[in-house]
Amino acid sequence: MPRSKGPAQPPAETGPAAARHLPEATLVRLTQYLRALTELRDAGRSSASSEVLAEAAGVNSAILRKDLSLLGSYGTRGVGYETEVLAQRITECLGLTHEWRVSIIGAGNLGRALSGYGGFRNRGFSVVALFDASPDLIGRDVNGLRVANVAFLEDVLTFTRTNMAVLAVPGPVAQELADRLVRIGVRSILSFAPVVLQVPEGVTLRKVDLATELQILAYHAQQAGQTGLQRP
Amino acid sequence: MPRSKGPAQPPAETGPAAARHLPEATLVRLTQYLRALTELRDAGRSSASSEVLAEAAGVNSAILRKDLSLLGSYGTRGVGYETEVLAQRITECLGLTHEWRVSIIGAGNLGRALSGYGGFRNRGFSVVALFDASPDLIGRDVNGLRVANVAFLEDVLTFTRTNMAVLAVPGPVAQELADRLVRIGVRSILSFAPVVLQVPEGVTLRKVDLATELQILAYHAQQAGQTGLQRP
DNA sequence: TGGTGTGAACGGATTCACAGCC
DNA sequence: GGCTGTGAATCCGTTCACACCA
Question: What pLDDT, on the 0 to 100 scale, is given for residue A182?
Answer: 98
Q: DSSP states of A113-164 as a string?
A: HHHT-HHHHTTTEEEEEEEES-TTTTT-EETTEEEEEGGGHHHHHHHHT--E
Tell me, yes or no, whether B161 lies in a domain.
yes
Confidence of residue B17 (pLDDT cuts 50, 70, 90): very low
CB atoms B188 and A95 under 8 Å: no
Residue-wise pLDDT tens digits, B139-155: 999 999 999 999 999 99
Examine the fold and report which residue of A48, A72, A94 is the final residue of a domain before the chain moves on.
A94
B172 and B187 together in one domain: yes
Question: What pLDDT, on the 0 to 100 scale, is given for residue A232?
Answer: 62
A208 and A106 together in one domain: yes
Closest of B115, B94, B228 to residue B168, by C-alpha: B115
Range of the domain at A50: 24-94
Note which residues in 152-211 of chain B have CB less than 8 A from chain A. 157-158, 161-164, 183-190, 194-197, 202, 204, 206, 208-211
Tell me, yes or no, whether A158 lies in a domain.
yes
Residue B145 in contact with partner chain A when CB distance is under 8 A: no
Residue B53, min C-alpha distance to chain A (Å):
12
B65 and B132 together in one domain: no
Residue-wise pLDDT tens digits, B36-61: 999 999 999 999 999 999 999 999 99
How far apart (Å, rounded) are the C-alpha atoms in residues A231 and B11?
A: 34
Domain at B173, CATH number: 3.40.50.720
Question: What pLDDT, on the 0 to 100 scale, is given for residue B14?
Answer: 32
Q: Is the predicted pLDDT of residue A75 greater than 90, yes or no?
A: yes
CB atoms A229 and B196 under 8 Å: no
Is any atom of nucleic acid chain D found less than 7 Å from the CB of residue A19? no
Mean pLDDT of chain B: 90
Interface residue of A215, A220, A231 to substitute, partner B, most B CBs within 10 Å: A215
Sign of CA dihedral A131, A133, A137, A138: positive
Mean pLDDT of chain A: 90
Tell me, yes or no, whether B224 lies in a domain.
no
Is any atom of nucleic acid chain D found less than 7 Å from the CB of residue B26? yes
Closest of B203, B204, B201, B205 to residue B192, by C-alpha: B205
A149 and A68 together in one domain: no
**Contact (Cβ atoms closer than 8 angstroms) between residue A187 and residue A204:** yes
Residue-wise pLDDT tens digits, A123-137: 889 999 999 999 999
A154 and A173 together in one domain: yes
Closest of A118, A182, A122 to residue A153, by C-alpha: A182
Q: Is the predicted pLDDT of residue B6 greater than 60, yes or no?
A: no
**Contact (Cβ atoms closer than 8 angstroms) between residue B125 and residue B100:** yes
**B163 Ramachandran zone, left/alpha/beta (phi>0; psi -120 to 50):** alpha
B83 and B105 together in one domain: no
Nucleotides of D under 7 A from a protein CB: 1-8, 12-17, 20-22
B128 and B84 together in one domain: no
A208 and A112 together in one domain: yes
Q: Is the predicted pLDDT of residue B174 greater than 60, yes or no?
A: yes
A108 and A190 together in one domain: yes
Tell me, yes or no, whether A230 lies in a domain.
no
B45 and B122 together in one domain: no
Q: Where are the alpha helices (H) located in chain B, listed in sequence order? A: 24-42, 50-57, 61-70, 83-94, 109-115, 118-121, 153-160, 171-184, 210-223
Tell me, yes or no, whether A190 lies in a domain.
yes
Give the mean model confidence (pLDDT) for residues A61-67: 97
Is any atom of nucleic acid chain C found less than 7 Å from the CB of residue B80? yes
Domain at A29, CATH number: 1.10.10.10
Domains held by chain B: number: 2
Q: Is the predicted pLDDT of residue B12 greater than 90, yes or no?
A: no
Examine the fold and report which residue of A94, A110, A127 is the final residue of a domain before the chain moves on.
A94
How far apart (Å, rounded) are the C-alpha atoms in residues A13 and A20?
A: 10
Q: Is the predicted pLDDT of residue A88 greater than 70, yes or no?
A: yes
Is the pLDDT higher at A225 or at A28?
A28
Residue B2, min C-alpha distance to chain A (Å):
21
Tell me, yes or no, whether A8 lies in a domain.
no
Residue B63 has phi, psi (to 5 degrees) of: -70, -30
Q: Report chain A's C-alpha Rg in angstroms.
A: 21
CB atoms A94 and B218 under 8 Å: yes
Tell me, yes or no, whether A69 lies in a domain.
yes
Tell me, yes or no, whether B127 lies in a domain.
yes
Closest CA in chain A for residue B18: A223
Question: What pLDDT, on the 0 to 100 scale, is given for residue A2?
Answer: 31
Contacts of A219 in chain B (CB under 8 A): 22, 27, 93-95
Give the mean model confidence (pLDDT) for residues A5-17: 34
Residue B23 in contact with partner chain A when CB distance is under 8 A: no
Contacts of B223 in chain A (CB under 8 A): 21, 95
Question: Which nucleotide is closest to the Cα of A79 by its C1'?
Answer: D3
Examine the fold and report which residue of A94, A110, A143 is the final residue of a domain before the chain moves on.
A94
Give the DSSP H/E element, type plus range, for residue A174.
Answer: helix A171-184
CB atoms B226 and A184 under 8 Å: no
Confidence of residue A21 (pLDDT cuts 50, 70, 90): confident
B137 and B161 together in one domain: yes
> Which residue among A110, A223, A232 sits closest to B113, beta carbon to beta carbon?
A110
Q: Is the predicted pLDDT of residue A6 greater than 70, yes or no?
A: no
Confidence of residue A61 (pLDDT cuts 50, 70, 90): very high
Pairing of β A141-142 and β A125-132: unpaired
A144 and A208 together in one domain: yes
Pairing of β B47-48 and β A145-149: unpaired
Residue-wise pLDDT tens digits, A191-212: 999 999 999 999 999 999 999 9
